[in-house]
Amino acid sequence: MFDFEFGEDLELIAETAKGFATDALFPKLREHERARAVDASVRASYAEMGLAGLELPESLGGAELGPLARVLVNEELAAGDAGAALALDPLGPALYPLLEIGGEDAVREFALPLLETDGARAIFLDAADAELEVGTTVTGSVPWVPSDRADLLVLLRDDDAIVVRDGITTGELRGSGMRAAGASELTLTAAPIAARFEGRAGAARSRARARLYMASLLVGVLRQAADFSREYAVEREAFGRPIAHHQGLTFLIIDMLAAVDGARLLLHEAAWRLEHGAAGEAAAAAAYAEAIEASTLIGPNAVQILGGHGFMQDYPVEKYMREARAIGLAIGGLDAAREDAWTALADADCHVQLSHLEVAQ
Amino acid sequence: MNFEIDESIQGPLAALRERGRNEARPIGLEADRLGRPIPVGDPYFARLIARGEGRTRWRGPDGEKKARSKPKSAGSRPSRRTVKTLLFVEELAYWDRGVVVANPGVGLPEANVIAMGTDEQKERFLGPFLAPDRPRWACFAMTEPGAGSDAAAIQTTARRDGDHWILNGAKCFIGNATRSDWILAQATLDPTQGRDAQRAFFIEQGTPGLGGFRIEKKMGLKAYESTSFTLQECRVPGANLLGGEARYEKRDGFKGAMKAFNAGRPVVAANAVGIGRAALDEALAFAREHDRLADPRVRDRLERAARKLKLSRLLCLKAGWLADREKPNIIEASMCKLVAAQVGQEATSLGMELLGTVGARGDHLIEKLYRDVKALDMVEGTGQIQRIIMARQLVGLPR
């Protein structure tokens, strides 16, 4: 029966991530953005926390935690700095196709070596986000990935995942957001396919987990943007009172905070479904769609609340606005998420179940 | 973390679904078509009473003593009452919100009477609802023509006269007032003193001075009566002051009874979710029947409505879950009310859009839902008031 508590273990993990994000990531967010990388000392202290192997199977030295742990950690880290959160997770969503379709052997072969290499990054790519020709080799280009390196590319399609290690060249980009993780375009010229893992169900599950990964980063940024601008509006006075007390802004601030809470609940429900092996693809897509829609309200309005100051880089809100938009562009973005979320309704005969709560366990 | 509805709730939900389909839906549609509340003598009400519905959840003087003497064990599981109520309310509203309000029972004042009433008051006013011999109603009267959301501004006065109280004023939009055994009416000892000076009084039907009943014509939710009435030198015994005199000597009036958690606003929100879901199901069925689902614009809008309804339901349940744990939920309760009322309205409006001119005929269920759901953005505080309540907590908005 209903319980909105995460339980002690998950709460402890979230608290740890939150403390790290507040103390280590947030104060250095401009520094990391300029450097296109996270400081070595910060990376070292992150490694000590043991969050790196969060979702890796225990047999491979990981903590074997599931989607709920991931979304909680991502939200906290991204509230500190979403770019750094990506930079600190060398596997990112690329882990999911390896794990869900390829299994432990695939993870051992392709993912583990990256964890041994300093600065290595695996790139997750949904087929919707690139124009690639896949035959016996892979050729084409990827407009943007949030990384300066591509040690491994995992391309997720509807029925399979394709793994590429060689033949990838990176071209540095400025990047619109998450520069702490880097930014480049990728060019593949007859890149050899290192492995191909087939399985439609596994592919759908991988996509769902990748969406939760991005959605949780987004919720973290949105929460922080809404909180930061709210706090500013309580301090800042105009016309003789805090600007938060002018009803035009009061209502806007409340709507932003409500949008964060709503998006977060959809995210948690979807993560809970996947955690328990229930059908969660449509729920994950809906959670991502909701976070993206919320970002169009919260990102620009966080800047708006700070007025001219919001436009300046002395405050972080302009960064939140850029990043919230960029995080929502992955995996085919809003349109693809809505199309996949729609499948929950397409199957409904006469009674829409809202894809929730009815879980076969 | 758990989002599952277990079998102990699935069963009753399925039963409510069947009754809703067979009873509430057709009766609600009929009342809407005829433009009048379900008559007091309608056999539907008698059937409910015969089935054991319309009873108070107060357990009677003996039940209450038993509950008091039973010590709460330290490790006992938290209550699930609010969460269950929200799920049931949503299902009931799916079939017809107006019929639910029309159903016999103590209704709105029940929680306050149980929480604040003296033993004697509970026995006198709730007692007849323990095993009612016929359909019985009661009602709560706060709203006045000049005081809706601003409940501190009510002008109905209570003046002491020996061991009686004399009430004067006017109330409006009061559900089931003409058919109620008694009305719990809010009045003020001093209109300049706000909520602190407010008291609630039981007024029995037929008390001289209670009159001027007028059943309002409404846009929707026509199955129950919304009634205005007046109080002119209406004299009630001192024993009819809710909670008794002693209560107010110790506490600062009405505010003393207000808790840090709220279950009323989530219930209104759950109603909006239920109506929205009904509209979504009808809209989806209509769109499928008319081969509209290949159109991505149609799919997108249906997807969004479903997503927002799910989100609203989760917000409601979160607020209810907090209330069950007696944890502060002022923000969550207002948030779910704010969001769900909007979302419910949007879902019904989308339904109208998909119907096209079929919706303009005025005889489609979705058109009724479109009218019905609007009320939920007003009752228990408008969406604007909810934002203000939240803002007091979140940005320190002064009162």
Residue for token pair 């910060």: A42
Stated as kind and residue range, the H or E segment containing A134 is strand A131-134
Q: Are residues A135 and A218 in the same domain?
A: no
What CA–CA distance (Å, rounded) separates A184 from A249?
38
State the DSSP string of B12-73. HHHHHHHHIIIIIHHHHHHHHHHTSPPPTT-HHHHHHHHTT-S--S--HHHHHHHHHHSPPP
Q: Are residues A270 and A336 in the same domain?
A: yes
* Strand stretches in B244-308, DSSP E: none
Q: Which residues of B touch A240 (CB under 8 A)?
A: none
Query: By the CB < 8 Å criterion, does B311 face chain A?
Result: yes
Q: Are residues A241 and A317 in the same domain?
A: yes
CA-to-CA dists, residue B198 to A92, A216, A275, B153, B258, angstroms: 59, 47, 51, 10, 13
Q: Are residues A60 and A84 in the same domain?
A: yes
Give the pLDDT score at B246: 81
What CA–CA distance (Å, rounded) separates A18 from A221?
13
Give the pLDDT mean for A287-308.
98
3-state SS, residue A220: helix
Q: Which residues of A touch B384 (CB under 8 A)?
A: 251
Q: Where are the domains of chain B?
A: 23-69+106-257, 264-394
Q: What's B264-394's CATH class?
A: mainly alpha
Interfacial B residues in 11-50 facing A (CB < 8 Å): none
Average pLDDT of chain B to the nearest whole number: 92
Of A198, A229, A264, which residue sits at a domain end? Answer: A198
- Six token digits for residue A361: 């366990």
Burial bucket for residue B35 (CB in 10 Å: 0-12, 13-18, 19+): exposed
Q: Which tens digits make up the pLDDT trace of A77-93? A: 999 999 999 999 999 99
Q: Give the minimum alpha-carbon distance from A102 to chain B in angstroms, rounded to a whole number.
A: 29
Asked if A5's CB is within 8 angstroms of B1's CB, the reply is yes
β-pair partners for B180: B137
What distance, in Å, lies between the first and last C-alpha atoms of chain A?
Answer: 12
Assigned domain for A45 exists: yes
Q: Which residues of A touch B296 (CB under 8 A)?
A: 339
Q: Which residues of A touch B302 (CB under 8 A)?
A: 342, 345
- Going by pLDDT thresholds of 50, 70 and 90, the confidence category of residue B259 is low
What CA–CA distance (Å, rounded) separates B374 from B220?
8
- Going by pLDDT thresholds of 50, 70 and 90, the confidence category of residue B148 is confident
Q: Give the minimum alpha-carbon distance from B397 to chain A in angstroms, rounded to a whole number.
A: 6
Q: What residue of A is the nearest CA neighbor of B300?
A: A338
pLDDT tops 60 at residue B157 = yes
Q: Are residues A158 and A287 in the same domain?
A: no
Asked if B390's CB is within 8 angstroms of A254's CB, the reply is yes
Let me know the angle formed at the C-alpha of A246 by A242 and A252, rounded to the nearest 5 degrees.
Answer: 110
Asked if B314's CB is within 8 angstroms of A269's CB, the reply is yes
What CA–CA distance (Å, rounded) separates A299 from A225?
7
Structural domain boundaries enclosing A277: 202-346
The candidate with the shortest Cα–Cα distance to A219, out of A252, A180, A261, A274, is: A261
Question: Dihedrals φ, ψ of A167, to 5°?
Answer: 80, 20
pLDDT tops 60 at residue B110 = yes
Asked if A351's CB is within 8 angstroms of B307's CB, the reply is no
Give the pLDDT score at A359: 31
Q: Give the minimum alpha-carbon distance from A71 to chain B in angstroms, rounded to a whole number.
A: 13
Assigned domain for A361 exists: no
Size of interface A-B (CB pairs under 8 A): 149
Q: Give the minimum alpha-carbon distance from A342 to chain B in angstroms, rounded to a whole number.
A: 5
* Nearest CB to B303; choose among A262, A345, A361: A345
Assigned domain for A112 exists: no
Q: Which residues of B touch A244 (CB under 8 A)?
A: 391, 395-397
Let me know the angle formed at the C-alpha of B377 by B374 and B382, rounded to the nearest 5 degrees.
Answer: 145
Question: Dihedrals φ, ψ of B105, to 5°?
Answer: 145, 175
Q: Are residues A141 and A57 in the same domain?
A: no
What CA–CA distance (Å, rounded) separates A335 from B363?
35
Asked if A286's CB is within 8 angstroms of B310's CB, the reply is yes
Give the pLDDT score at A348: 67
3-state SS, residue B130: coil
Assigned domain for A221 exists: yes
Q: What residue of B is the nearest CA neighbor of A233?
A: B395
Residue for token pair 């509805």: B5
Give the pLDDT score at A83: 97
Has B332 been annotated as catalytic? no
What CA–CA distance (Å, rounded) separates B315 from A147?
36
Give the pLDDT score at A356: 40
Q: Which residues of B touch A286 (CB under 8 A)?
A: 303, 306-307, 310
Asked if A4's CB is within 8 angstroms of B321's CB, the reply is yes
Q: Are strands A237-238 and A241-242 parallel, antiparallel or unpaired?
A: antiparallel
Burial per residue of B186-225, b for 16 or more beta-carbon CB atoms within 10 angstroms, e otherwise: bbbbebeebbbbbbbbbbeeebebbeeeeeeebebbbbbb
Q: Are strands A122-126 and A152-156 parallel, antiparallel or unpaired?
A: parallel
- B144: DSSP letter: B
Residue for token pair 């129950």: B224
Query: By the CB < 8 Å criterion, does B389 face chain A?
Result: no
Query: By the CB < 8 Å criterion, does B170 face chain A?
Result: no
3-state SS, residue B186: strand
Q: Which residues of A touch B6 (CB under 8 A)?
A: 1
Give the pLDDT mean for A99-104.
97
Give the pLDDT score at B256: 41
pLDDT tops 60 at residue A357 = no
Among A345, A349, A355, the strongest candidate for a mutation testing the B interface, having the largest count of B CBs within 10 A, is A345
Q: Which residues of A touch B392 (CB under 8 A)?
A: none
Q: Which tens digits make up the pLDDT trace of B264-312? A: 899 999 999 999 999 999 999 999 999 999 999 999 999 999 999 999 9
Q: What residue of A is the nearest CA neighbor of B10?
A: A358
Asked if B317's CB is within 8 angstroms of A5's CB, the reply is no
Assigned domain for A319 exists: yes
Query: By the CB < 8 Å criterion, does B307 face chain A?
Result: yes
Q: Which residues of B touch A342 (CB under 8 A)?
A: 299-300, 302-303
Q: What residue of A is the nearest CA neighbor of B335?
A: A258
Asked if A253's CB is within 8 angstroms of B1's CB, the reply is no
Q: Are A127 and A15 in contact (CB under 8 A)?
A: no
Asked if B391's CB is within 8 angstroms of A361's CB, the reply is no
Looking at B90, B110, B332, B380, which residue is catalytic? Answer: B380
Q: Which tens digits make up the pLDDT trace of A63-75? A: 999 999 999 999 9
Q: Are residues A129 and A176 in the same domain?
A: yes
What CA–CA distance (Å, rounded) separates B96 from B22?
11
Q: Which residues of B touch A273 (CB under 8 A)?
A: 3
Stated as kind and residue range, the H or E segment containing A221 is helix A200-235
The total domain count for chain A is: 3
Q: Are residues A183 and A150 in the same domain?
A: yes
Residue for token pair 């990391």: A32
Q: Are residues A215 and A294 in the same domain?
A: yes
Residue for token pair 């919001």: A310
Of A198, A217, A241, which residue sits at a domain end? Answer: A198
Burial bucket for residue B356 (CB in 10 Å: 0-12, 13-18, 19+): exposed
What CA–CA distance (Å, rounded) separates A134 from A319?
36
Contacts of A237 (CB under 8 A, 6+ apart): A243
Q: Which residues of B touch A255 (CB under 8 A)?
A: 387
Q: Give the minimum alpha-carbon distance from B280 to chain A in angstroms, rounded to a whole number.
A: 8
- Going by pLDDT thresholds of 50, 70 and 90, the confidence category of residue A131 is very high
What CA–CA distance (Å, rounded) separates A277 from A285?
16
Question: Dihedrals φ, ψ of B35, to 5°?
Answer: 65, 40
Residue B322 carries which side chain, given as an amino acid letter? L
Q: Give the minimum alpha-carbon distance from A101 to chain B in angstroms, rounded to a whole number.
A: 27
A36 in the Ramachandran plot: left (φ > 0), alpha (ψ -120 to 50) or beta?
left
CA-to-CA dists, residue B126 to A159, B112, B117, B184, angstroms: 64, 11, 10, 12
Assigned domain for A217 exists: yes
Contacts of B75 (CB under 8 A, 6+ apart): none
Residue A90 carries which side chain, given as an amino acid letter? P
- Six token digits for residue B20: 């809703």
Q: Give the minimum alpha-carbon distance from A16 to chain B in angstroms, rounded to a whole number.
A: 19
| ipTM over the 0.85 cut-off | yes
Q: pTM, whole model, 2 decimals?
A: 0.94
Assigned domain for A94 exists: no
Give the pLDDT score at B151: 82
Of A136, A170, A198, which residue sits at a domain end? Answer: A198
Query: By the CB < 8 Å criterion, does B184 face chain A?
Result: no
Q: What is the CATH number of the domain that holds A66?
A: 1.10.540.10
Q: Are residues A178 and A71 in the same domain?
A: no
Assigned domain for A233 exists: yes
Question: Taking the mean position of all CA atoms in its chain, how far away is CA A78?
Answer: 8
Give the pLDDT mean for B109-118.
92
Give the pLDDT score at A355: 39
Contacts of A282 (CB under 8 A, 6+ apart): A340, A341, A342, A343, A344, A355
Q: What residue of A is the nearest CA neighbor of B83?
A: A2
Among B310, B327, B393, the strongest candidate for a mutation testing the A interface, having the largest count of A CBs within 10 A, is B310
Q: What residue of A is the nearest CA neighbor of B393?
A: A254
- Six token digits for residue B200: 């609630």
Q: Give the minimum alpha-carbon distance from A266 to chain B in angstroms, rounded to a whole number.
A: 6
Q: Where are the alpha helices (DSSP H) in A236-331?
A: 247-275, 281-306, 308-311, 317-327
Give the pLDDT mean for A339-361.
61
Q: Are A74 and A130 in contact (CB under 8 A)?
A: no
Of residues A282 and B6, more confidently modeled: A282
Q: Are residues A133 and A176 in the same domain?
A: yes
Contacts of B367 (CB under 8 A, 6+ apart): B352, B355, B359, B360, B361
Q: What is the CATH number of the domain that holds A254?
A: 1.20.140.10
* Nearest CB to A262; choose among B4, B315, B394: B315
The candidate with the shortest Cα–Cα distance to B37, out of B86, B107, B109, B104, is: B104
pLDDT tops 70 at residue B255 = no
What distance, in Å, lies between the first and last C-alpha atoms of chain B?
Answer: 36
Give the pLDDT mean for A301-312.
97
Average pLDDT of chain A to the nearest whole number: 94
Q: Are residues A228 and A295 in the same domain?
A: yes
| CATH 2.40.110.10 corresponds to the domain B23-69+106-257 | yes
* Nearest CB to A356; choose among B1, B310, B398: B310
The Cβ of residue A235 has, within 10 Å, a number of other Cβ atoms equal to: 9
Asked if A1's CB is within 8 angstroms of B83's CB, the reply is yes
Give the pLDDT mean for A184-192.
98
Q: Which residues of A touch B312 (CB under 8 A)?
A: 262
Burial bucket for residue B59 (CB in 10 Å: 0-12, 13-18, 19+): middle
What CA–CA distance (Å, rounded) separates B236 from B336?
38
Interfacial B residues in 320-359 facing A (CB < 8 Å): 321-322, 332, 335, 338-339
The candidate with the shortest Cα–Cα distance to A142, out of A164, A170, A163, A111, is: A170
* Nearest CB to A352; choose among B9, B277, B318: B277
- A110: DSSP letter: I
